[in-house]
Structure 1
Amino acid sequence: MIKITEASDGVNYQAPNAGVSDAMWLTRNTTVTIVSEIDNSQRKDDKTMAEGVLDIDDNGFEAEVLQSDIPVLVDFWAPWCGPCKAIAPTVEQLAKDFSGQIKFTKCNVDDNPITPAKYGIRAIPTLIFFKGGEIADQITGMVAKAKLEETIKKLV
């Protein structure tokens, strides 16, 4: 959690699901002083991944994605991102529907900055589909389940 006081617009901000970089986004053009960052390690929702969706990090990306024998969907997301939360149930359902045919993974961009930077992630959610260690397709933003299914079926 970020707690901000002394904002130039006179408002004291508190962002329960945000990190330092998000505090700047939340306040836009407001000059702020960050007075404290509260440890979020006790929050359960940040690290809990749905059944069939693997949480990956910068260190495991090559092994889990680039060296995978089957196609891989990587969902680049953040816990504070509304559209990321909205698309998550669809991705989780597709993980069940296509179990064994494609590996479903999630990469938290706040916790793992190297991989998103390497792939030019500028907006989330971004879903990148890998096949044979190479990018096969990419979708950014909230899309219909049918569009995701169509993309997956081209890979399997």
Structure 2
Amino acid sequence: MTAYDEVIKAIEQGNTSFGPYGRAAASDESITNGEKELGLSFPASYLWWLKHYDGGEIGSDTIYAIDADGMGKPDIVDFAVTRDDFVPGHVNRLYFGGNDDEMYYFDIASGLDENSEYKVYLFDHLAQTDELYADSFADFLIKRINE
């Protein structure tokens, strides 16, 4: 069993709306261009996900990918660069999904850990609070799908 088998199983059995596994949603070129535009590196498990799924939803939460084809899909890069506080290379929070009440983000300010992962936080719009949610994007997927 690989490190991502549990993620694949959760996606297949959970309340998700993702493209089929193996569908290379984001090319290496589009990923590299996105990282350059943002001035950062995506975490390892998010990179894996970008290369095997095509964005989508977990319950009512939209999970952003990269809209390299300009089809209007929620795009992590577009969402970041359209924020008023965006400065390339100085992103502290990289939002990658959520809904009207809460958003999930990578804690860029703390840097990548030894596994090339960012911690994932949950930002509650109403309470204006941040809460550590998962140690990686893969852990986020498993936890969020199983809630």
Q: TM-score range by the shorter chain?
A: 0.3 to 0.5
Higher strand share goes to which structure?
1
The structure with the largest alpha-carbon Rg is: 1
Q: TM-score, normalised by structure 1?
A: 0.31
